[in-house]
Amino acid sequence: MPELPEVEHVVRALRRVIVRRRILAAEIRLPKLVPPEGKAAFNRKIKGCRIIGVRRRGKFILIDLDRARMLSHGRAARTRQGSGSVLIVHLRMTGKFRYLTVDEELPRYAHVVFYLDNNRRLVFCDQRQFGVMKLVPYSRLGLTKGIHELAPEPFSDDFSLNYLKDVLTRSQRSLKTLLLDQTKVLGLGNIYASEALFRAHINPFKIAATLSAKRVGLLHQAIREVLSDALSDGSALRVNLEHPEGFSYGEAFEDIWQVYDREGEPCARCSAKIKRETHGGRSTYWCPRCQRA
């Protein structure tokens, strides 16, 4: 389910409950989640670690861990580099976290259970088993495959108009495909890629390199707008780690989609019927009139 805004909401929810907790043990119920060293090695490494922070990079969740016995403010920076490690989690399509008391029954598809030092359990669930979990030394995070190739964060200065111009100019792919490439543009998924192109009045099948400078500007703005709209409290996914689903939807959430999942409905701008086309197994939604070119 998650694109960048949803991952950010999960990160914030996790931060509220697990920071400063110590992990007493990890129970791996789906062994393929921690290859190749296996369950025992993973558990040995993570046992006793203190959770000192939760961050996001693209759609990855980064849980910072520290082995040090005592964590004081003054020492945090040093220990972080010395003995720290990072638990990297990607939710892919159906990954979810739950935060449970000891009494609550494990949900279906509970693949990893972290036992915390406050009588709670942090559970990673994933129906489709696409989710990925990896433990790396803090010092190697930036070199980790999947992380180091990522494009700049969409709200950072590095994701500039010139950056986007440069990326688009050098690509012969369709804009929709390019927007899904996390090494080129970070954070969009299948929903927000369609939404950003709609907002910018640009045809999803247009070849990236052929976009005019002016329209690159519109797209750049649209990318940031769809993401920040989805991040704002009024219109986003409500993450509730104690809810049976791990989240619930704000009532306005799906209403903010202008084209996604609206095949056949009238376009909000011009009333033409929204179209859908699949290629590469993924649906693209667009308005054939106001996204003509």
How far apart, in whole angstroms, are the C-alpha atoms of residue 293 and residue 282? 21
- Alpha carbons 34 and 54: distance in angstroms, whole number: 20
Among 3, 6, 8, 195, the active-site one is: 3
Candidates 43, 83, 235, 283; binder of DNA (CB under 7 A) is: 283
Q: Is 204 in the site for DNA (CB under 7 A)?
A: no
Q: Considering the rule CB under 7 A, would residue 243 count as an interface residue with DNA?
A: no
Q: How many residues does the chain have?
A: 293
Give the one residue of 50, 56, 59, 215 binding DNA; rule: CB under 7 A.
59
- Of the ranges 74-82, 89-97, 198-206, 210-218, which one interacts with DNA (CB under 7 A)? 89-97
CB of 19 to DNA, least distance (A): 23
Cα–Cα dist 118/228, whole Å: 34
Position among 43, 83, 129, 221 found at the interface with DNA (CB under 7 A) = 129
Closer Cβ to DNA, 76 or 106, answer by number? 106
> Considering only residues 23, 50, 51, 58, which one is a binding residue for DNA as defined by CB under 7 A?
58
Using CB under 7 A as the binding rule, whether residue 152 contacts DNA is answered as no
Annotated catalytic residue, options 50, 56, 57, 59 = 59
- 173 catalytic, yes or no? no
127 is a contact residue toward DNA (CB under 7 A):
yes
Binding residue for DNA (CB under 7 A) from 16, 75, 273, 279? 279
| Residue 171 binding DNA, by CB under 7 A | yes
Compare residues 53 and 131 and give the one whose CB is closer to DNA: 131
Q: Which is nearer to DNA, 52 or 58 (CB)?
A: 58
Instruction: Indicate which single residue of 137, 146, 152, 250 sits in contact with DNA (rule: CB under 7 A).
Output: 146
In angstroms, the CA 65 to CA 87 distance is 7
Q: Pick the binder of DNA from 14, 86, 175, 180 (CB under 7 A).
A: 180
Q: How far apart are CA 17 and CA 120, in angstroms?
A: 10
Applying CB under 7 A, the site for DNA has a residue count of: 36
Task: For residue 2, state whether it binds DNA (rule: CB under 7 A).
Answer: yes
* Candidates 126-134, 135-143, 155-163, 212-220; binding stretch for DNA (CB under 7 A): 126-134
Using rule CB under 7 A, residue 170 touches DNA: yes
- Cα distance between the two ends of the chain: 29
In the list 90, 111, 120, 220, the residue contacting DNA (rule: CB under 7 A) is: 90
- Considering the complex, state which of residue 117 and residue 158 has its C-beta at the smaller distance from DNA: 158
Catalytic sites, residue numbers:
2-3, 59, 282
